[in-house]
Structure 1
């Protein structure tokens, strides 16, 4: 009888021990998942914070770029239009003089006509810089071809352009951003690169649009350009971000520049 009771006690002890082990393992698993989940949430929050900070930088840089553009436009308007209109106003006032001769009237009329022609041409160029009419009327390829012709007319560069893009594949807003990227790249090459050759290639397939821009200029340190937050390079990267595009900028001193923008559709 005593041995039977002892045996039952052993069984109860084993069962209790097993239950204890199971409870301990369950608690361990719960704590593991709790802390793992906590860690995952922390990592996700850190990623979200990084994305928010990146978006803040993009917005801030975009605002700075817009302000710089507004200043440039304001300066262009002042230099190319306001000052010339002052001359027109002065000459128009002279025409109201009672003792003015016919010869003087004709001379003033010719001066006014010449100045107003210059003002019209300047305003056309400013409007073209703001929103190229070719882009709006005929699409991105025609606008890029026109842009390449303008650069080539300077006689400073050997230009190779190849555009195989299906019209309307990107929304008009996206085409404008891609066009502005090429504009900015040309501007950087013209101002800083001391290049003699430029290559622009735009191709499209069913699921992607690819832009490749190269020059043989003096090159630069991409890392230093990013550290200094150069408006040109930052503006290109920001526009690529708006396009949800992959942007690769390769350059080093003495080795020109190679930029690849890949837009997934």
Structure 2
């Protein structure tokens, strides 16, 4: 009888120990999954914060770019158009107040006409910078050809273009973003890189998307340092590529020019 009782207690003890071990294992697993889940959630939050931070940075860059563009347009309007119109106004006032005849009147009217034509030319240039007419009428390929030709004709730099862009491959607003990127690269090559030779290549394919390759023989730069402290120009390019869902790669070293590869799927 005592043996049976002892066996019963031993069995009960084993069962209790087994249950306790199972409980400990269960608690351990629950704790493990809880901590693992917590780490996953933390990483996801950190990832989202990085994405939000990047988006905020791109948005600020876009806003800053717009503000700079507005300031430039306002300055152009004030310095060029306003000053020329003031001269026209003064000349018109003078014509009304003074009795002029013959050659003197002809000279005054000729001056007014010259200033008026110069004002019209300036207004066309400002409108061209806002939205190039050729881009609206003939598309991205023609617009890039025109801007490259303008830089080439300046005699400050030799620009070659390999243009294999398919008409209307991108939507009109997307084409404007790519055009502004090319403008920014050209401007950087002359302003900062002091380049004398530039090569631009653009191609499109239904399966691989748009590829833009840009090279210059300018001063170059340290890519790692440039990525840590991006100037307004680089931020402008990246904010536009963010909208286009494209990517960009830079290859450059001080004294070795710049190679820029852009891909838009």
Aligning the two structures, in what range does the TM-score lie when normalised by the shorter sequence?
A: over 0.9
Shift of 1:130: 0.8
Could you say if the C-alpha distance between residues 8 and 166 of structure 1 is closer, same or farther in structure 2, counting changes exceeding 3 Å? farther
Asked whether the equivalents of residues 240 and 246 of structure 1 are also in contact (C-alpha less than 8 Å), the reply is yes
When the two structures are aligned, how many residues end up with a matched partner?
A: 264
The more displaced of 240-249 and 3-12 is: 3-12
Q: How many angstroms apart in 2 are the aligned matches of 1:192 and 1:56?
A: 27
Shift of 1:230: 1.3
Shift of 1:40: 1.0
Matches within 5 A, 1:161-200: 161-200=161-200
Tell me the equivalent position of 2:45: 45
| TM-score normalised per structure 1 | 0.94
Tell me the equivalent position of 2:26: 26
Tell me the equivalent position of 2:104: 104
Q: How many angstroms apart in 2 are the aligned matches of 1:165 and 1:175?
A: 11
Render the CA deviation track for 1:135-193: whole Å, top value 9, x for unaligned: 11111111111111111111233322112222223222221111100000001112122
Tell me the equivalent position of 1:156: 156
The more displaced of 189-198 and 219-228 is: 219-228
Tell me the equivalent position of 2:246: 245
Asked whether the equivalents of residues 164 and 204 of structure 1 are also in contact (C-alpha less than 8 Å), the reply is yes
Shift of 1:227: 4.1
Tell me the equivalent position of 1:211: 212
Asked whether the equivalents of residues 134 and 143 of structure 1 are also in contact (C-alpha less than 8 Å), the reply is yes
The more displaced of 76-85 and 47-56 is: 47-56
Tell me the equivalent position of 1:144: 144
Could you say if the C-alpha distance between residues 168 and 10 of structure 1 is closer, same or farther in structure 2, counting changes exceeding 3 Å? farther
Asked whether the equivalents of residues 226 and 234 of structure 1 are also in contact (C-alpha less than 8 Å), the reply is no
Tell me the equivalent position of 1:236: 237
The more displaced of 224-233 and 115-124 is: 224-233
Tell me the equivalent position of 1:86: 86
Q: How many angstroms apart in 2 are the aligned matches of 1:129 and 1:148?
A: 14
**3-state SS in 1 of match to 2:162:** strand
Asked whether the equivalents of residues 250 and 261 of structure 2 are also in contact (C-alpha less than 8 Å), the reply is yes
Tell me the equivalent position of 1:123: 123
Shift of 1:256: 0.3
Could you say if the C-alpha distance between residues 4 and 167 of structure 1 is closer, same or farther in structure 2, counting changes exceeding 3 Å? farther
**Do structure 1's residue 77 and structure 2's residue 77 form an aligned pair?**
yes
Q: How many angstroms apart in 2 are the aligned matches of 1:35 and 1:192?
A: 51
Higher relative contact order (CA 8 A, sep 6+): 2
Q: How many angstroms apart in 2 are the aligned matches of 1:167 and 1:11?
A: 85
Q: How many angstroms apart in 2 are the aligned matches of 1:117 and 1:28?
A: 85
Asked whether the equivalents of residues 149 and 159 of structure 2 are also in contact (C-alpha less than 8 Å), the reply is no
Shift of 1:98: 4.6
Asked whether the equivalents of residues 84 and 119 of structure 2 are also in contact (C-alpha less than 8 Å), the reply is yes
Shift of 1:212: 1.0
Q: How many angstroms apart in 1 are the aligned matches of 2:122 and 2:91?
A: 20
What are structure 2's unaligned runs of at least 5 residues? none
Q: How many angstroms apart in 1 are the aligned matches of 2:122 and 2:41?
A: 57
